[in-house]
Amino acid sequence: MRPHTVPPEVEFSSGPAVATKFEAFTRLSPEDRAALADVTQNVRYVEARRDLVAEGDKPRHVYLVLDGWGARYKSLPDGTRQILNFLLPGDFCGVSAYLLREMDHSIGAITKLKVATITPDEMQGLRQGRPRIAEALRWEELVSESIQREWTLNVGLRIAYQRLGHLLVEIYLRLQVVGRASDGRCDFPLTQNDLADATSLTSVHVNRTLQELRRDGLIELERRQLHILDLERLMHASMFNPNYLHFDHAGQHLDAGNHA
Amino acid sequence: MRPHTVPPEVEFSSGPAVATKFEAFTRLSPEDRAALADVTQNVRYVEARRDLVAEGDKPRHVYLVLDGWGARYKSLPDGTRQILNFLLPGDFCGVSAYLLREMDHSIGAITKLKVATITPDEMQGLRQGRPRIAEALRWEELVSESIQREWTLNVGLRIAYQRLGHLLVEIYLRLQVVGRASDGRCDFPLTQNDLADATSLTSVHVNRTLQELRRDGLIELERRQLHILDLERLMHASMFNPNYLHFDHAGQHLDAGNHA
DNA sequence: CGTCTGGTTGATACGACTCAAATTTGGTGG
DNA sequence: CCACCAAATTTGAGTCGTATCAACCAGACG
C-alpha cells in the first residue's frame, strides 16, 4: 500500500489507456497503436480543481485523457452544480465539438489531469488513415452517449442507495477496461461532495448512504481507495446492467482484412 | 381550431422537417435536399404506443422521424420507466448504432409514427456525397448529446415546477425549429403519464404542478394542444438557457464554396 | 350506455434536504 | 516532530418536496 502522501493521480501503469480500451471493441494493429501514440504527443496538464474548458468557450481542441480524473459539469444560476459524467484515462472529449459555436458545459479536473491536445485535422487524418480507429472512435462516442442516458435514468429512477452503488460499479468497470482497476480495487479520488454533485444528492446524504453500503459489507472506501467487496451483490443491489457500457468486442469482425 | 376527433399526429405541413432543422445549422443546396429526399423513400409506420425498436435488439437500420412523436426510454426490473428523450419530426436515430451488438434502450411511438428506414450504406453514401449534410448529421448528434446532458441536469437539479417548465420549453423550441410550432402554440400529444416518465415525477405530482403553471398564467394545456402564454417568463421560471440546443447557424460558413 | 383511459383530488408517509456543529484527516510550516 | 489550518467527513434535529394509496370524475369509444 502506498503512503498517502503520494498524490492520487499516481499512475497505475499498463500502457496507454485508450489503446487498452479500444481493445474492448476491436483489435488494433501495431500501426494503429503507433498512429494513436502519434497524435498524443502534445501533452498538457491541468491542476486539480481547475477547468480544462469552460461553458461558453469556443471549442478548439480535441482532448484525450492520459491520466487523472476529470468531470463534465454544468452549473445553474442558483449555484447548484451537476456533474454529468466523469472523464477517466482513455476518454476522449470534444471529438466533433469544433462544429459548435460554444461549449454548453464545462470540463474540470478532479485530480491533476494529463491530457493530449489534438487538432481537428489530426483527428481527421487518424480517421482517414486508420479505419479501425475511426470505428473505435465512433464506438466510443456511442458508449459515451449511452452512459449519459444511463445517468439520466440513474438520477431519475434510483434511490440514493442504488444510485451511489450504480455509480461506484460504473466507475470500477470503466477503470477496469483501461487496466486501472482489478480485484475490486481502484483509486477513487472523488470527495463526497463530488459524489453528491454526480448523483444529485447532498453530501450529507451521500455520507449516510456510503455508511449504509459499508455496513452492508458491499464496499470499503477510505484514503481515496475504493474496494468493492462483492461486485455481484453490489450490481444486483443497484440494479446494474452492464449492457450499456458495450464492452463486448462488438467490432471484432473488423480484425480480419487489415494487415497494414 | 381542428375538431378533437382528429388524431394528434395530424401533419402541420411545412416541408420535410429534417431539411428545415438542418437550416438552423447550415444552408442546404437543392442537391442536398434532393439527396435527403432520396434516402427517405422507404417509409414505415408504427402505431401509437408500440415499439419501433426494443432494448436488446440488434440495431440494423437508421431511422428518421418524418411525422409523429416517439420516445427513447429505458425500463428497470422493478417496472419503473424513464423516458430519456423525445423523438420529434426531423430527428434521426441510430445513425451509428449498427456498430453495437444490441440496443441499450428502447424506442417507442407516442403517437402514430411515420419513419424513414435508411440503411447504413445509404447513410455512408449521403455522408460521402454531400459534405454539408455530413456536417449537419454530426451537428445533430452533438445537439442530441447535449440534450441528453441537459435532461440529466433537469431531473437532477430542478424541482418539479421548473423541471416541467423546462421540458415544455424545450419541446416547443424543438418543434419550432422544424416548423411545427409558432406563436407559443404546438401539438402536444403527451399524457401526464408520459410527462411523469420523462421528468421522473409521479403523474399525480405532474398533474398538480401543471395546475400551478396554469394558475401562474404561464401555459394553457388541453385537448393535446400546448399554448405557452409567456415564453420569456416560462424560460426564466424554469432557468432555461437555450444555448444547449445550438440552433445558432454555427455551420453557416459552410454555405460558401459549394455550388454543386 | 357501459367501459376505458386520462385527469383530478385528498390524506398520509417517507426519502432526502437544510442547518448547524463537531470531529477527523491531510497538508504545512515552525 | 508537533502545532496549526483548511478541507473533508460525520452526526443530530427538524423540515419539505414528492411519493403513495385511494377515490372519483370526464370524455371518447365501441
pLDDT tens digits for range A243-254 = 999 999 998 887
Q: Which residues of B touch A145 (CB under 8 A)?
A: 144-145, 148
Q: Which of A153, A3, A99 is nearest to B156 (CA)?
A: A153
Instruction: Read off the C-alpha cell for B219.
Output: 401555459
Question: Over chain A, what is the mean pLDDT?
Answer: 92
pLDDT tens across A213-248, in order? 999 999 999 999 999 999 999 999 999 999 999 999
Helix axes A192-199, A160-177, angle to 10 degrees: 110
Residues of A in contact with B147 (CB under 8 A): none
Torsion of CA A38, A43, A49, A51, to 10 degrees: -80
Of B76, B105, B135, the CB nearest to A99: B135
The cell numbers describing A35, all together, are: 498512429
| Residue A154 pLDDT grade (very low, low, confident, very high; cuts 50, 70, 90) | very high
Give the tens place of pLDDT for each residue, A63-106. 999 999 999 999 999 999 999 999 999 999 999 999 999 999 99
pLDDT at A156: 98
pTM above 0.85, yes or no: yes
Distance from CA(A149) to C1'(D27), angstroms, rounded: 36
pLDDT reported for residue A1 = 34
What pLDDT, on a 0 to 100 scale, did the predictor assign at position B14? 57
Nearest CA in chain B to A254: B99
CA angle B248, B249, B254 (to 5 degrees): 155
Q: Please say whether the beta carbons of B132 and B97 come within 8 A.
A: no
Residue B159 has pLDDT above 70, yes or no: yes
Q: Are strands A51-53 and A106-109 parallel, antiparallel or unpaired?
A: antiparallel
Identify the CA nearest to A99 among candidates B251, B140, B126: B251
For A7-63, how does the pLDDT look when each residue is reduced to its tens digit (9 = 90+)? 333 444 457 999 999 999 999 999 999 999 999 999 999 999 999 999 999 999 999
- Using alpha carbons only, give the angle B70, B141, A252 rounded to the nearest 5 degrees: 100
Q: Least CA distance to A245: which residue of chain B? A: B104
Given a cut of 60, whether residue A149 has pLDDT beyond it is yes
- Residue B66 CA to residue B147 CA, distance in Å, equals 20
What average pLDDT does range A190-216 have in this prediction?
A: 98
Query: For residue B162, what pLDDT is reported?
Result: 98
**Model pLDDT, residue B46:** 97
Side-by-side strand order, sheet with A70-75: A51-53, A106-109, A70-75, A81-87
B119 touches strand D (CB under 7 A): no
Whether the predicted pLDDT of B9 surpasses 50:
no
Strand C–CB B211 distance below 7 A: yes
C-alpha A153/C-alpha B94 separation (Å) is 19
Residue A56 near residue B102 (C-beta atoms within 8 A): no
